[in-house]
Amino acid sequence: MNQHQPDSLPPDYFDHVYAANRDPWGFETSPYEREKYDATVAALPRPRYAKAFEIGCSLGVLTAQLALRCGHLLAVDVSEAALAQARARCTELPQVEIRNLRVPEEFPSQRFDLIVLSEVGYYWSPADLARAADQLLAGLNSGGQLLLVHWTPRVHDYPLTGDEVHDFFLLKAASGGPLRHLTGQRHETYRLDLFERN
């Protein structure tokens, strides 16, 4: 591994994590996660999004909350163990489609009114973050929104920090391209930024 350009974490990293613990980050039980999910959903300015895409849905805890605001929600993850729990959690939500998909190696062909990237970007290498950012932008309808939410303290085996992920998109928005920054929040251990495609 090149120390200047770390690799993205592979799917088997997450398979091992979920094999050791069915809810390794406390998505179902942590007060921190509950508060963050509330802030995430509250940050969405529109009451409804026709087509939405959630990258890294894990156990589907946030997915189930997002689904109430979506006509159709495609939720993806790289871990089958996590996806099995997400499918069980969202079984009564027919607007939710759950798939095993690895971004940026794969990306859906349709376009979306909302893309949510929550606690995923720091698993990518800088090169994969750049590739994914281009895909996200191309995957947004005109006026579509991109919501980023990430833990900010450094984690030793993650290629990037949450701040590096958000700052990358803020620079992209500042460059005069089709992405513009609408609003941002910084909390004690996470940050949230909302963008829109012009």
The residue ranges of the chain whose pLDDT is under 70 are 1-4, 24-25
Helical axes 11-20 vs 80-89, angle rounded to 10°: 60
Residue 178 CA to residue 174 CA, distance in Å, equals 10
Q: Is residue 33 part of a domain?
A: yes
Q: Is residue 95 part of a domain?
A: yes
- Asked whether the CA dihedral 134, 139, 144, 149 is positive or negative, the reply is negative
Contacts of 39 (CB under 8 A, 6+ apart): 149, 185, 187, 192
**What is the number of domains present in the chain?**
1
User: Residues 88-134: pLDDT tens digits?
Assistant: 999 999 999 999 999 999 999 999 999 999 999 999 999 999 999 99
Q: Is residue 6 part of a domain?
A: no
Give me the CATH number covering residue 94.
3.40.50.150
Q: Is residue 110 part of a domain?
A: yes
- Report phi then psi at 178, rounded to 5: -80, -5
Residue 13's pLDDT is: 81
Residue 2's pLDDT is: 44
Contacts of 15 (CB under 8 A, 6+ apart): 79, 80, 81
- Asked whether the CA dihedral 41, 170, 190, 30 is positive or negative, the reply is positive
Residue 164's pLDDT is: 98
Residue 135 CA to residue 50 CA, distance in Å, equals 19
Q: Is residue 24 part of a domain?
A: yes
Q: Which domain holds residue 64?
A: 11-197
Residue 192's pLDDT is: 98
Q: Which two tokens stand for residue 147?
A: 């919501």
Q: Is residue 1 part of a domain?
A: no
Q: Is residue 26 part of a domain?
A: yes
DSSP state of 151: E
Q: Is residue 177 part of a domain?
A: yes
Residue 28's pLDDT is: 81
Residue 171 CA to residue 126 CA, distance in Å, equals 14
